[in-house]
Amino acid sequence: LAKTTQPVSMDSYEGQEVNITCSHNNIATNDYITWYQQFPSQGPRFIIQGYKTKVTNEVASLFIPADRKSSTLSLPRVSLSDTAVYYCLVGAGYNNNDMRFGAGTRLTVKP
């Protein structure tokens, strides 16, 4: 079971790029890295998923180095509406025993 470590909180300002790093030193060969976003009083929302190198979608980019022991979620030009909790999960996805939510990173975007 690959455990993840993320910063508890981060602050940023509107228009800045935000990078949230997740450490997963024990990642296994078949594990993927998945990020979710959660706003207050809502369920988490899938943002992005990757296995290696770089993945980009309309919301974010995910950078994964060659050793895959960490990953970085990059949010370009954040706005106030990006204030949320961001969760990093690592697992192969075969069953729920190998994908657990931690406490996440609470991102606060200031004007």
Partner 1 sequence: DTGVSQDPRHKITKRGQNVTFRCDPISEHNRLYWYRQTLGQGPEFLTYFQNEAQLEKSRLLSDRFSAERPKGSFSTLEIQRTEQGDSAMYLCASSINTVRTQYFGPGTRLLVL
Do the beta carbons of residue 90 and residue 27 sit within 8 Å?
yes
Span near partner 1 by CB under 8 A; candidates 19-27, 54-62, 66-74, 89-97: 89-97
Which residues of the chain form beta strands (DSSP E)?
9-13, 18-23, 32-38, 45-50, 53-56, 61-64, 70-75, 84-91, 105-110
Least Å distance between CB 109 and partner 1? 19
7 near partner 1 (CB under 8 A): no
97 near partner 1 (CB under 8 A): yes
100 near partner 1 (CB under 8 A): yes
3-state secondary structure of 108: strand
Q: What angle do CA 67, 82, 97 make, to 5 degrees?
A: 45
Contact string (CB under 8 A) for partner 1, positions 10-49, x = contact: ----------------------x-x------xxxxxx--x
Interface contacts to partner 1, rule CB under 8 A: 32, 34, 41-46, 49, 85, 87, 91-104
